[in-house]
A and B are shown apart, each in its own frame.
Chain A
Amino acid sequence: MSAASSSATSAPAPPKVLRVSEHTVEIVSDSGEGAQKCAQIFAAVSAKMGNGVWTVELIPAEIQPPPRVPEGASGNRVRVGEHAVTNWGDRTNLVIAFNEQVLLARHRLDALADDAVLLVEDKWARSDDPEIVVAWTAAMKELSSRPYRIVPVAMEDECLTIVDNPKKGKNMFALGILARIYGRDMDRVREQIAYTFRKKSEEMYAQNVSLLELGYAWAEDNIDFRVEIPTHEADKQLVVMNGNEALALGAIASGMELCAMYPITPATSVSHLLSEVFERFGGMVHQAEDEIAAVGVAIGASYSGKVAFTVTSGPGLALKTEFIGLAIMTEVPLVLVNVQRGGPSTGLPTKVEQSDLLAALFAATGDAPHIVMAPATIEECFHIMVTARRLAETFRAVVMVLSDANLATGVTPFPKPVLDERWQAAPLDLAPVREGQTAYGWDPKTGLTQRIIPGQPGGMYTLTGLSHDERSKVAYSSGIHQHSSAMRSRKLAVLSSLLTPPPVYGPEKGDLLVVGWGSTKGAIEEAVDRARAEGIKVSSTHLRFLSPLEPGLKKIFAGFKKVVTVEINYSDEIGDPYVTDENRRRGQLAFLLRAATLVDVDCWTRVPGEPLRPGSILEAIRGRTPRGGTA
């Protein structure tokens, strides 16, 4: 069936065509109704056609929450653009909802644009259960507070014309509707369906395609508009994945061979992918009995050879801290990935937050210098693992990588990494130790040392977490502790001396500098672009290294009248009861920058349990700057 030709004859009037540079789509349902699959296929096809795409999962905390409740809303937001899309955007322009309650959830979260088109399954309005009808009516009333355009769709009834159980496969009907509205290449959609359900039967594929085409035809006959987003063929080969997949594949690229972990959301999917493929690369995932054992196993493996890593989220980081201190004290290299979620405590397990920065920096008791880095994009999640492994080995250091739930579950295309053998750990060298080589033969200037691993003839020593001298002999004297503390600390200064100042996004002088870290880069830069278009003199900079801090910050800050951090963590607002400039608890990066630079760094932070919206950041920028330009 050819889409373009059939619509010309059957539709009463040609559809209105909206030409836009971007559009945001959501598919929401109860858990397990296939909304995720529908959105993923739509996003993959869009990327293949040459659109920029950013996909975010909308995940309830429970695996199977009760049906038809707002808290159970599950699905995806897909932001499709003419050019690369770096974040999930502000509000959604078009929604397909499998019931009115999940739609209501999105409305209540202010996730929908005022002029959004809401396609909603309307069988609930005709339900035999009077309670459901009442709920439907109430929901429609609540939704009428905004000028949405609500389009009831009898999705299940339509599906029933070709399948017995419309619950399975409704998502393909929805995909057909989207394919028609957004002019997606149907051959590519069919290909993607075949790929997505490759482990399922031929009949399943055929049925899914029939439902897809049914949805497409239905939209031709019933939807009076189409959306056109220009596409540009990519000049590079692209790959598309989420941040946790990128971390996992990056770990393989780095040559690490052991991931020791304990299940915790949202970090676990890193190990899911590795469990599937790692052994083919000569590696393995060890699921330990607890978070403490996971880091202990990684340390044992690292100590005895190649650098190993562990992945966790907030509560797991808390449990690992004693072992982190041991690794720092004994200079055993270790990579620790923390996919941050909302905290403290169990907090918001499936939601994004950047609240572990200070916990990561000060994880261990005593003076425990270590490296902390944060990837800013999904692409960086891949490459940061290579860097982290290398730094851990070179500096005999603990390297923490702070990702977050936004990167973990966001999906976007990026250039396929061009791999390099040199990224990987060298094979173990079990040569006899050199004459005079000791366990910690600190270079007095840099604190750098070459480590000895078991199996090296002549190298026998006992590693200890007690204060020790360079031969690893237990030593409590103040002189030795002073010196060994200096040597462990010096390594960070050395690393800092090798870093370059972070680039400034925009002019190097202005009214306001926004400083961010981690997953907020795309949203911040989009907000900065929009603010500058309004004439506001604002720039931004983004930090990847939090310990040691990137150099040159004081000089960069000096170019701006004000500096503000934008972060997804909690801070007090000036003007709140009892809150003063003196006792105000600030954003975690702001805390750090103030201490490091003595600049009066302000902060704008939020903990909404969702990624920051560029529009909200724009508001914060406006509130902190004189209105520029012609305004």
Chain B
Amino acid sequence: MSLSCGLLPVLDLDDSEHEYEMSEYEGAKARWCPGCGDHSVLTAVQRLLAAEQLIPDQTMFVSGIGCSSRFPHYLKTYGFHGLHGRALPVATGIKLHRPELNVFVVMGDGDCTSIGAGHWVHALRYNMDMTVMLLDNNIYGLTKMQTSPTTPQGFKSNTQPRGSWLPPMNPIEIALGITNTSFVAQTAEWVPAHLYATLRAAYHHKGFSFVRILQRCPVFTPQVFQKAVQDPSRITMMVHDDGVVAPELDKIYTSQVHHDPHDLAAARAMAEQTDKIHLGLFYKDASKPRYEETRRVAPHTPAERVALLDKELDKYAV
């Protein structure tokens, strides 16, 4: 089949009977450290791809640089492992030109909230339809234990050996503060059912679905979420029929709050409460304008373009 999409806004669907197994989305063998939270995110993503039967050649994973940004290599889809902090501009370009592709973005905490913070803020506002994962282990791992914006205050690192000076940045608060934000959720790598349900909700949302995934680095920050890992009561699940739905967790995570994800003020109030970890969907609004839709232009053939340009040039005629 030869298919030219120059004039087609969408790809043909793969109409074959083929059913993709999870294993068909596996790329190279993951080389993260044993116990790294990235492994469970990878598994959840592969499960999602299979569950949604996403066609591998029409699916795109874009990442920056850092441990988590190796992600695309471990999947059998198209991947773009680009520059530190710059995954989002690349994803923006891909989605603008090829809105029919399924676009996923994977970033670490240094990647997204530090060097790429400017792009992050604007990408939230562009609200393009992509699923965006912040793999937040509170530390720079690949460069070996430097403080990141989300590192807990007082945490000793190679760059702040007497303890991190400042209170950590709260990425959820920031995401909720940006005009035109349309989807903000938080989940944790050690609650696989919740992680999967959150990614699934994110994928189904039309717009920029921002998911912060709390995770541990087994080498540098094994303790950061340890209390919450060991004691589920330290976690408050935000529950709602239109939120992250994972009823199988109800028995373990008994601390629950009913939160309507369409209520932005309540979401912001919840995000500010840092005494407890909130998991679930903070906010969702599918009616927010999406940049790639707003900017969609009618395609033109070369012949049409030549005719139009010839006329345009006449405006400059002497």
Contact = CB atoms under 8 A, between A and B. Distances in A.
A462 B83 contact: no
B233 interface: no
Interface stretch (B3-11, B201-209, B261-269): B3-11
A249 interface: yes
B120 to A, nearest CB: 10
A577 interface: no
Contacts of B58: 454-455
A137 interface: no
B57 A455 contact: yes
Contact of B300 (A281, A293, A458): A281
Interface in B42-78: 56-58, 60-62, 65, 72-73, 75-78
B74 to A, nearest CB: 9
Interface in A382-438: 413, 416-417, 419-422, 424, 426-432
Given A430-B5, A455-B5, A460-B78, A281 B97 contact: no
Main secondary structure of the interface of B (DSSP, over half): mixed
Contact of A302 (B60, B72, B93): B93
B98 A304 contact: yes
Interface string A276-306: 0101111110101110111111111111111
B97 A419 contact: no
A573 interface: no
B81 interface: yes
Contacts of A298: 93
A461 B314 CA distance: 46
Interface string B106-117: 000000000000
B93 A459 contact: no
Nearest to A426: B6
B94 A462 contact: no
Interface string B145-185: 00000000000000000000000000000000000000000
Interface in A63-102: none
B297 A240 contact: no
A296 B309 contact: no
A241 interface: yes
Nearest to B73: A462
Given A300-B94, A462-B27, A466-B81, A417 B313 contact: yes
A289 B118 contact: yes
A464 interface: yes
Interface string A256-269: 01101000000000
Given A282-B300, A289-B122, A299 B93 contact: yes
Contacts of A260: 93
A424 B305 contact: yes
A368 to B, nearest CB: 14
B215 interface: no
A474 B73 contact: yes
B92 A297 contact: yes
B318 A281 contact: no
A108 interface: no
Contact of A460 (B2, B56, B81): B56
B99 to A, nearest CB: 10
B57 A303 contact: no
A237 B93 contact: no
B309 A249 contact: yes
Contacts of B82: 296, 299, 326, 463, 465
Given A280-B308, A281-B300, A282-B297, A428 B93 contact: no
A139 interface: no
A297 B4 contact: no
Given A258-B96, A306-B97, A419-B306, A427 B90 contact: no
B318 A430 contact: no
A299 B81 CA distance: 13
A407 to B, nearest CB: 16
Nearest to B318: A238
Among B1, B95, B97, B121, the most chain A Cβ lie within 10 Å of the Cβ of: B97
A323 interface: yes
A303 B310 contact: no
A416 B317 contact: yes
Contacts of B308: 280-281
A239 B318 contact: yes
A292 B97 contact: no
Contacts of A47: 318
7 contacts: A48-B318, A286-B92, A293-B88, A293-B89, A293-B122, A323-B83, A463-B80
